Amino acid sequence: MSDYRDLIARAEQRIDHGTRERSAGADDKARAIADEAARRGRGGPKAIADELGVSEKTISQAISRARTADAPHRALPYDTLERLFAAELPGLPPLPAAHWQALSYVLNGTIVDISWIESPHLLLAGEVEDLDDEYEDAPALAGICRAFTRVQALAVIDTILRGDLAALPTED
């Protein structure tokens, strides 16, 4: 029962993040318009309105918004995590496709939650070791998982959970 509540809470966090991003984007746009209007001086707002195909009132509202907007927050771009994981994939050792498929099988039956952040490589290795009877290369694959860095392990887990095994480097 708490699983669906966790999913709802995470979804609400993403919605809140999106709302904050939209507001920050509107503030950035307003500041850009206000700065350009100030640079152009008298007649600048009208010229900007004509260029953007909006009313002078819209430009006036943007300038007003820029005056009251908070200073821009210095934060990483929203897609930083995805970019970090994508940057880690080329640094992974190429593995046989069967190893990636075994990891996919393991993760398919595993609940990956926040507790995995501390040592995902060790938890993944432990899950692989549980395959010992089902997968003869389990000890070797567990050793490979232990050698992953935290970010590499999370990148592998994310890639597999998204169903993108083709993004993982395989041996020829």
Q: Residue 74: its pLDDT value, please?
A: 67
Higher pLDDT, 88 or 72: 88
Give Cα separations from 23 to 54, 66, 80 (angstroms): 20, 12, 19
Average pLDDT over residues 70-84: 79
Distance CA 72, CA 160 (A): 36
pLDDT at 1: 47
The pLDDT of residue 73 is above 80: no
User: pTM for this structure?
Assistant: 0.61
Q: Is the pLDDT of residue 78 over 80?
A: no
The pLDDT score that the predictor gives to residue 124 is 96
Burial of 59 from C-beta contacts in 10 A (0-12 / 13-18 / 19+): buried
Q: What pLDDT is stored for residue 159 in this prediction?
A: 96
Phi/psi for 92 (5° steps) reads -75, 150
**b/e string for 66-77 if b means 16 or more Cβ within 10 A?**
beebeeeeeeee
Comparing 133 with 102, the larger pLDDT belongs to: 102
Question: What Cα–Cα distance (Å) separates residue 13 from each residue in 4, 41, 79, 89?
Answer: 14, 42, 15, 27
Amino acid letter for position 19: T
Q: What single-letter DSSP state applies at residue 74? A: -
